[in-house]
Amino acid sequence: MVHLEFSGTDFDADRAEFIELARSAGLDVVGVIGGKRDRPDAGTYAGSGKVDEIAVTAKVAGAELIIFNHDLSPSQERNLEKRFECRVINRAGLILDIFARRARSHEGKLQVELARLNHMATRLVRGWSHLERQKGGIGLRGGPGETQLEIDRRLLRGRMDTLKKQLETVKSRRAQNRQGRAKSEIPTVSLVGYTNAGKSTLFNVLTGDAAFASNQLFATLDTTMRKVALPSGETAVLADTVGFIRDLPHDLIAAFRATLEESREAELLVHVIDAGDSERGARIEQVEAVLAEIGADEVPRLQVFNKIDLREGEEARIECDAEGIPQRVFLSARSGEGIDLLRTAIAARLYPDLGDEAIVLPVNAAKLRAQLFQLHCVQSETIDKEGSSHLIVRLPYSRLQRLCREAGIELPPRQDPAVH
């Protein structure tokens, strides 16, 4: 593994994450080589002296693969493979390999395959270097190498077009599901965050699900959606999405765009942060950068600082802004400490005007009465002599107002919103 230091980078943190990525891919790391450079070498990225050092170290260790924690160009990969006489990949290739191993659903496999083909398209020439020579002479323009490359490119383009069409079908299906949730007025809350921050563990605790969760990078890739009950009596759909990471390959972001749209279309993003991570400030910035790239930077945020059980003296709590709106929740998904606080904070963000409302429905408003009972929001009911229903309902005031307006009933204004 090769990790070079350039000015303006956090060498130690990046190196530790690089090694963890390799282990997550199931690789046996036999050596890590570092060094400092002002700028990358155009031909080999590392420079001739460092390349010689890597070649000797790899030969002594019996390495079968050399990974650069950097973005290598196709020509740089070719030059390095000739020098090392073994396979060379860059950071993007390593992440793509991890995604290929972890994808389980049909959609996830389609997305990963498209990303790998995008990555492979610029590196096809390596497989046909023995056919690079072209025949000379009149009427002999082009050679077998050119023909084989064109065939491969055509096959790649055809497969990529097929995958894109299949993913468009998935995108359309997701859009229909979102429309269905919008009609039933069930909001979506999307869990986002740096990989290994504890999203899947938190998802399992909130929903009672058994999604795979492990202390490793990219433990889960496939988006899982489940209903979660809130203390207000309302429900929301919780989505567990793929974790982000520094320098996430653009091919992956493009391929997973259909999945990541769940974050862009959500009513609330719960940004899960590892409270014990010394680099959490940088991690937050990196997650925000990816959210901006997929167009989710305008979606409201609720920050959740997870793993407080690993920090001495840290207590579960909610931190609000000057208007009393929850902004941050400190908890431990593993121990369950602070989970109820998170439910309360989510309810407060999704339903800021939720409260118990008293309404009177005349006899001819039976349809509205049935709707309210179907929503399970009726707290009590009494019938007067005229047959009118006196209800206490727990609903967001704006939603109750709209239901009443559609039924032709005027809802009196709230007398004192503060009591709610």
pLDDT means per 10 residues, the chain with 420 residues, are 80 80 88 90 92 94 93 90 92 84 74 79 55 45 56 80 83 72 75 88 85 53 78 81 74 65 85 91 90 87 95 93 92 94 92 83 91 84 92 82 85 56
Give the contacts of 145 (CB within 8 A, at least 6 positions apart). Answer: 128, 130, 131, 132, 133, 134
Q: Tokens at residue 331, please? A: 């908890």
Q: How far apart are CA 297 and CA 320, in angstroms?
A: 20
Q: What's the half-sphere exposure (Cβ side, CA atoms, 13 Å) at 339?
A: 17
Phi/psi-derived region of residue 303, left when phi > 0, alpha when psi is between -120 and 50, beta in every other case:
beta
Report the pLDDT value the prediction gives residue 336, as an integer from 0 to 100.
93
Report the pLDDT value the prediction gives residue 141, as an integer from 0 to 100.
47
Fold of 186-350: Rossmann fold (3.40.50)
Strand order in the sheet with 224-229: 224-229, 235-240, 188-193, 268-274, 301-306, 326-330, 317-320
Domains 186-350 and 354-419 share a fold: no
Report the pLDDT value the prediction gives residue 148, as an integer from 0 to 100.
66
Fold of 354-419: Alpha-Beta Plaits (3.30.70)
Report the pLDDT value the prediction gives residue 136, as an integer from 0 to 100.
45
Report the pLDDT value the prediction gives residue 64, as an integer from 0 to 100.
92
Report the pLDDT value the prediction gives residue 213, as an integer from 0 to 100.
52
Report the pLDDT value the prediction gives residue 134, as an integer from 0 to 100.
47
CATH homologous superfamily of 2-99 equals: GTPase HflX, N-terminal domain (3.40.50.11060)
Q: Tokens at residue 114, please? A: 């498209």
Per domain, the residue ranges of the chain are 2-99, 103-167, 186-350, 354-419
Report the pLDDT value the prediction gives residue 44, as an integer from 0 to 100.
93
**Could you read off the pLDDT of 147-206 as tens digits, one per residue?**
666 777 778 888 888 888 887 887 777 777 767 666 656 888 999 999 888 988 999 999
Confidence (pTM): 0.70
